[in-house]
């Protein structure tokens, strides 16, 4: 096993706390009782995947979402419910992240979408004024801007080439096992954060 020189981090569930239940509850309050039939953290309809790779715009997503779910909610209410899963950036994790670049080249790779991206960037800037979230990384890769997403191994291969990294010298940290499998197929070393484990427990 090669020495680790680069760290590639996931966002949700690793640096940013999430609660899918809060989004599910918010949609239920809007009258959509079966949101989990359309999206969960491990499975989703094609519309959500297309939104995560930027293949549909915000406006088109909302239009198709309403048709797909039968929702009559206002756009702003749908966006708010969708963003309800985004919680906080624990200070101890941000302090850990800030020190990580002293020893490694640090990158981010997140499956996200335009609504979530706007929301967490805004919340981070309010919670930690003076330094933008992306400034903690040599480069941050977001699926909706990249046009690629996890767990596809070719997306990791693309990232390695784009950043000039050796996959064997790169550690990928994620809380979703299929993403870990995709990274392993691309030759990266991996750590799966499961059972409540956090980045603060990593031996780096």
d(CA 137, CA 202): 18
Please check whether residue 1 lies inside any domain of the structure: no
Q: In this structure, what CATH number is given to the domain that contains residue 57? A: 1.10.150.240
d(CA 71, CA 62): 10
Question: Last residue of a domain, which of 35, 59, 83?
Answer: 83
- Per residue in 157-202, pLDDT (tens digit) is 999 999 999 999 999 999 999 999 999 999 999 999 998 899 999 9
d(CA 181, CA 179): 5
> Are the C-beta atoms of residues 86 and 14 closer than 8 Å to each other?
no
What is the average pLDDT score of the chain?
A: 94
Whether residue 169 sits in one domain with residue 179: yes
> Are the C-beta atoms of residues 65 and 47 closer than 8 Å to each other?
yes
> Are the C-beta atoms of residues 105 and 136 closer than 8 Å to each other?
no
- Per residue in 16-32, pLDDT (tens digit) is 999 999 999 999 999 98
> Are the C-beta atoms of residues 193 and 174 closer than 8 Å to each other?
yes
- Per residue in 71-106, pLDDT (tens digit) is 899 999 999 999 999 999 999 999 999 999 999 999
Whether residue 119 sits in one domain with residue 185: yes
Residue 184: exposure state from Cβ atoms within 10 A (0-12, 13-18, ≥19): middle
Whether residue 186 sits in one domain with residue 101: yes
- pTM summary value: 0.94
pLDDT of residue 183: 98
| pLDDT level of residue 108 (50, 70, 90 thresholds) | very high
Which residue range forms the structural domain that includes residue 124?
Answer: 6-18+89-201
Selected residue with higher pLDDT from 111 and 36: 111
Say if residue 137's pLDDT is above 90: yes
pLDDT of residue 40: 64
Plot region of 164 (φ>0 → left; ψ -120 to 50 → alpha; else → beta) = left
pLDDT of residue 1: 80
- What does the block give as tokens for 132? 């933008």
Token pair 């609660």 in the structure block, residue:
19
Nearest Cα residue to 64 out of 82, 77, 48, 76: 48
Whether residue 13 sits in one domain with residue 25: no
């Amino acid at each position: 096993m090669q020495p680790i020189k680069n760290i590639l981090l996931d966002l949700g569930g690793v640096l940013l706390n999430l609660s899918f239940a809060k989004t599910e509850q918010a949609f239920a309050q809007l009258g959509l009782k079966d949101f989990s039939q359309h999206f969960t953290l491990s499975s989703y309809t094609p519309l959500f995947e297309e939104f995560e790779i930027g293949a549909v715009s915000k406006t088109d997503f909302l239009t198709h979402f309403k048709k797909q779910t039968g929702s009559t909610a206002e756009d702003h209410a749908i966006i708010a419910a969708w963003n309800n899963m985004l919680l906080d950036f624990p200070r101890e994790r941000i302090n850990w992240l800030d020190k990580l670049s002293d020893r490694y080249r640090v990158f981010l790779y997140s499956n996200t979408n335009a609504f979530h991206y706007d929301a967490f960037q805004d919340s981070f800037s309010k919670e930690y004024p003076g330094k933008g979230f992306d400034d903690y990384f040599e480069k941050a890769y977001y699926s909706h801007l990249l046009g690629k997403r996890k767990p596809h191994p070719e997306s990791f291969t693309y990232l390695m080439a784009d950043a000039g990294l050796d996959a064997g010298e790169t550690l990928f940290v994620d809380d979703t096992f299929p993403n870990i499998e995709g990274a392993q197929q691309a030759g990266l070393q991996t750590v799966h954060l499961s059972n409540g484990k956090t980045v603060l427990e990593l031996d780096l």
